[in-house]
């Protein structure tokens, strides 16, 4: 169905909390590059609560472009993901891949490090964003120390701010290094709660739903029903509303009512976990 396809196209929902979050890396991007010890940012939130979408929006606000001379690419914001088995070599490989370097150029560790830093300078990287930084904790204690030292080295050598994204464990990883903890300002994206901000978020969501009638998602008791079923993360809210929209359209309805929400085939994370655990017994 065409309207359902339209719904699944990724789009930015500019809710208040997200717009405020964009302002913090923007301040670092404007003020910190070139400083001897640039300040960094650590964005921590529950899984599926919007941190990656915010980072992607920030990258789009500072897109890759040609230099004024036209003979060089400029990548002002470089966004990568911490590899699941984090090592210095693997992280440099991730950086080089995102910079578009052919695999055959990677070579030995020292060459990889030198090439990576030179390329980041050449393309004018002003900020490094690292998603899923909690993957550090899957490494041994020695590997964790090596990776944390590497983050500090890259920031100091290039004199650029680093923004790390992750769940609660990301903070534990950064906190294990006193010097990094002092330079990473933690910012929390908590679970959603009932109130004005949730109402604004749901009102924003409703503007993109391909339904012809008003659902009044921001009004109680429907907003409370959405919050209760989704368990308070923005990704689950979107999944629930997508499912409810599908249910409404399949039933020939043009709005989401409480009964539609009840009949939507959707399970929140806690229920999904219980189902899997029961099946594994």
CA distance 25 to 160: 12
- pTM for the full predicted model: 0.88
- Give the pairing type, strands 127-131 and 162-166: parallel
Q: What is the CA radius of gyration of the chain?
A: 22
Give yes or no for a contact between 18 and 205, defined as CB atoms under 8 angstroms apart: no
The superfamily (CATH) of domain 16-188 is P-loop containing nucleotide triphosphate hydrolases (3.40.50.300)
Domain ranges of the chain: 16-188, 194-277
Which CATH code fits 194-277?
1.10.8
- Peptide bond between residue 221 and the one before it cis (omega within 30 degrees of 0): yes
Q: Tell me what pLDDT residue 277 has.
A: 80
Structural contact between residues 51 and 189, judged by C-beta atoms closer than 8 angstroms? yes
- Residuewise pLDDT in 10s, the chain (281 residues): 666 666 655 567 777 788 888 999 999 999 999 998 899 999 998 888 888 889 999 999 999 998 877 678 999 999 999 999 889 989 999 999 999 887 665 567 778 889 999 999 999 999 999 999 999 888 888 898 899 999 999 999 999 999 999 988 888 888 877 877 788 999 888 899 999 999 999 998 998 888 999 999 999 999 999 999 999 999 999 999 999 999 999 999 999 999 999 999 999 989 988 888 887 77
**Contact criterion met (CB below 8 Å) for 243 and 237:** no
pLDDT at 169: 83
């Amino acid at each position: 169905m065409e309207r359902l396809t339209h719904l699944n196209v990724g789009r930015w929902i500019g809710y208040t909390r997200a717009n405020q979050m964009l302002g913090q890396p923007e301040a670092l991007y404007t003020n910190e590059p070139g400083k001897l010890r640039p300040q960094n940012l650590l964005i921590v939130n529950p899984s599926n609560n919007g941190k990656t979408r915010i980072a992607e929006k920030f990258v789009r606000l500072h897109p890759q472009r040609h230099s004024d001379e036209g003979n060089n690419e400029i990548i002002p914001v470089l966004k990568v993901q911490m590899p699941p088995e984090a090592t210095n070599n693997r992280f440099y490989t991730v950086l080089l891949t995102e910079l578009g370097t052919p695999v055959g150029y990677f070579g030995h560790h020292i060459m990889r490090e030198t090439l990576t830093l030179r390329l980041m300078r050449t393309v004018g990287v002003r900020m490094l964003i690292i998603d899923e930084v909690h993957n550090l904790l899957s490494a041994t204690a020695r590997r964790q120390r090596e990776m944390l030292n590497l983050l500090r080295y890259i920031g100091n050598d290039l004199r650029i701010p680093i923004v790390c994204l992750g769940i609660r464990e990301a903070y534990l990883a950064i906190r294990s290094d006193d010097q990094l903890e002092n330079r990473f300002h933690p910012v929390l994206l908590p679970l959603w709660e009932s109130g004005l901000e949730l109402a604004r978020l749901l009102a924003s969501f409703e503007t993109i739903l391909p339904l012809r009638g008003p659902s009044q998602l921001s009004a109680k008791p429907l907003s409370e029903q959405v919050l209760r079923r989704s368990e308070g993360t923005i990704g689950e809210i979107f999944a629930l509303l997508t499912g409810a929209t599908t249910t409404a359209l399949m039933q020939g309805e043009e709005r989401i009512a409480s009964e539609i929400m009840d009949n939507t085939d959707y399970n929140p994370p806690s229920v999904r976990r219980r189902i899997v655990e029961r099946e594994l017994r």
